[in-house]
Amino acid sequence: MSVIPASAAPAPGRSQTLSWGPCPKIHGAGPEVRCATVRVPRDHAKPSGPTIQIMISRIPARDPARRRGVLIGNPGGPGGDAIGMFSALKAPREVRDEWDLVAVQPRGLLSSTPARCAPADDSDAITAIVSSGGLTRERCDSADPGYVRTITTENTARDIDVVRRALGEEKVSLYGISYGTLLMSTYATLYPGHTDRLVLDSGVDPSWVWNSVLSAQTSSYKRRTHEMMAWIAQRDNIYHLGSTPLAVYRAWSARVAKESGVPPSLAAPPARVGDVPPGLRAVAAQYIAGVDLTADARARFENFVATILVPGGLQAKSSLLGITRLAAPDRNLWPLVALRTAGRADAPSTPNPQVVELLTTMQEMQNLIVCNENQVPAQPATIPAAFFANYVVGDVYDAPGLIYESGMACAGAPAVTRTVALANRGLAVTPLQIQSLGDPQTPYRGSFAMQRLMRSHLITVGGGDHAQLGRRNPALDRAITEYLRTGRTSIRSVPEPAISASLTKAPQTGIGASG
């Protein structure tokens, strides 16, 4: 997709006429969604300078007579495609009736003046490792020098305010998921007078931005994967993979090894009495203690030895392993992992080119934003562990956190800005924050920092799913609707919803989750 060149078009502060039409198919938005483009300053510090175009999507209020305003959403990331957000994540029925649901595609992504990143050059592996962030910034900056440095959370928040003016709204309500909670809190900090309701779904600790975010997730992702295996074991009558988490793990590990040539380095879940061989039942406690004590070291050792000895063997080549990590925060994807492990759902033989384009752009934009505004000092002492996890054994659980914590991910690309210090600067309505207890992607312990800064009302959701919008949770949907209508709710906790996905049929769409 071509880049829309910067121009000296009419200043974005003036009124803009929005021309609504079908959204580009690549975004996968539903037929009810309409899109338009809005001009915003390329550099908000120079509001009368060159402009760029960004795309917005809208689902009009279903009952115009009861329309209450505009709710602008962001699904997360950074780098998450926003165009189809409200068609993919269904808002409560009353919200759908009474609000225009608008999503602003962040600058740099497809359809919003995308950065044109040249293909990566893999010929110099050493440079690619020691200057990863710098090479990405250079590849993406060559076509339009300086543009990638404008791809920041603050600029996206300021783009949203241009959209607000283009929509003719004095105030807008905001719904941010995951990274979107940082984005929408940034907007509310910059524009408290133009902020009506603010919903923060799966909040992020701003002090983790960015080198600490992924490392804060590592242990939670492993724990959540073990919970997934326990869930599969409870449904042995459906999947026939074993009636204990350890039995499921062994079937899963064998499948990963079949796909990649080596066993995974993820430790097995704790053993149970059902895992003890019949001849050792008399010493079951000692057997279980020994299995659990050595589980992590044994998995790592067996993976490392196999990686060294098996030509081309690398666990990261297993699509099941990658899907397992991606599925961990979303129970609606757990049946897919079970079906893939049981050999009842195959990976696509050829990836969809549009999905590849979307995911590639999202990954590049995530790296650009993270490095552009990273506030957390690197920990060089973790470089050996980061190198080993990423480039030797391909550990999909440890690698992401270590490569950022060590500083390797942004090497050669120092921060170009500081993030806005979030604060509730006299918002007329108390923000609503929604947080899941066991969410591995935005750990619960990190939610309290955002709650303190934004002085939000916190609703705790049981379970561990990441992102609560569209999960068909009646108690939570009532609380969200009440808050958007009245500006308050007394609800402080709700149970997790039931899984809505089929337990026996793999989904036809690709995995997509908020980040």
Q: Which CATH number belongs to the domain containing residue 482 in this structure? A: 3.40.50.1820
pLDDT for 201 equals 98
Task: Decide if 377 is inside a domain.
Answer: no
In a domain, 359, yes or no: no
Residue of 398, 391, 405 lying closest to 265 (CA atoms) = 398
Same domain, 127 and 237: no
Residues 335 and 426 occupy one common structural domain:
no
* Same domain membership, residue 236 and residue 199: no
Question: ω into residue 507 within 30 of 0, thus cis?
Answer: no
Q: CA 279 → CA 17, 137, 275, distances in Å? A: 78, 60, 12
Q: Is residue 408 part of a domain?
A: no
Q: Work out the number of other CB atoms within 10 angstroms of the CB of residue 230.
A: 17
| Residues 184, 73 contacting (CB under 8 angstroms) | no
Same domain? 317 vs 336: yes
pLDDT for res 2: 33
Q: Last residue of some domain: 286, 313, 341? A: 341
Specify the pTM.
0.94
- Integer CA distances (angstroms), 287 to 244, 265, 277, 295, 352, in order: 16, 21, 9, 12, 47
C-alpha distances out from residue 301 to 223, 248, 297, Å: 20, 20, 6
- 169 and 223 share a domain? no
Whole-Å CA distances, 515 to 3, 251, 326: 25, 29, 10
pLDDT of residue 11: 46
> How far is residue 101's CA from residue 428's CA, in Å, rounded to a whole number?
21
> Strands of 34-41's sheet, edge to edge?
21-22, 34-41, 51-59, 99-104, 69-74, 172-177, 195-201, 432-436, 457-461, 493-494
Within a domain: residue 390?
no
Q: Which two tokens stand for residue 366?
A: 């995530």
Q: Which residues pair with 102 in a beta bridge?
A: 58, 72
> Domain for residue 355, yes or no?
no
Same domain, 230 and 177: no
Residues present in the chain in total: 515
Residues 36 and 119 in one domain: yes
Co-location of 202 and 287 in the same domain: no
Q: Which of 316, 341, 366 is a domain's end point?
A: 341
Residues 273, 141: one domain? no
**Is 84 found in the same domain as 177?**
yes
Residue 210 preceded by cis peptide, ω within 30: yes
So what's the pLDDT on residue 243?
97
- Please indicate, yes or no, whether residues 136 and 229 belong to a single structural domain of this protein: no
- The answer to whether position 350 is within a domain reads no
Predicted confidence at residue 508, as pLDDT, reads: 64
User: Is residue 465 a part of any domain in this protein?
Assistant: yes
Each residue's pLDDT expressed in tens, for the chain with a length of 515 residues: 333 333 334 445 457 899 999 999 999 999 999 999 999 999 999 999 999 999 999 999 999 999 999 999 999 999 999 999 999 999 999 999 999 999 999 999 999 999 989 988 776 778 778 899 999 999 999 889 999 999 999 999 999 999 999 999 999 999 999 999 999 999 999 999 999 999 999 999 999 999 999 999 999 999 999 999 999 999 999 999 999 999 999 999 999 999 999 999 999 999 999 988 988 888 889 988 988 899 999 999 999 999 999 999 999 999 999 999 999 999 999 999 999 999 998 876 677 888 888 888 899 999 999 999 999 999 999 999 999 999 999 999 999 999 999 999 999 999 999 999 999 999 999 999 999 999 999 999 999 999 999 999 999 999 999 999 999 999 999 999 999 999 999 999 999 999 999 999 987 654 444 56
Residue 198 lies in a domain: yes
Structure tokens given for 307: 């990686």
pLDDT attached to residue 14: 53
Q: Are residues 205 and 252 in the same domain?
A: no
Rg for the chain (alpha carbons), in Å?
Answer: 23
Structural domains counted in the chain: 2
pLDDT of residue 371: 97
488: containing domain: 21-210+418-494
Task: Please identify, among 298, 322, 341, the residue that sits at the C-terminal boundary of a domain.
Answer: 341
What's the one-letter identity of residue 384?
P
Q: Which residues contact 40 (CB under 8 A, 6 or more apart)?
A: 12, 51, 52, 53, 54, 107, 158, 159, 162, 163
DSSP labels, 274-339: GGS-GGGGGGHHHHHHHHHHHHHHHHHHHHHHHHHHSTT--GGG-HHHHHHHHHTT-GGGHHHHHH
Predicted local confidence at residue 515, as pLDDT: 63
Residue of 91, 53, 89 lying closest to 71 (CA atoms): 91
Give the span between the Cα atoms of 418 and 207, in whole angstroms: 12
Residue ranges with strand state E in 66-217: 69-74, 99-104, 172-177, 195-201
Do residues 339 and 346 touch, judged by C-beta distance below 8 A? Answer: no
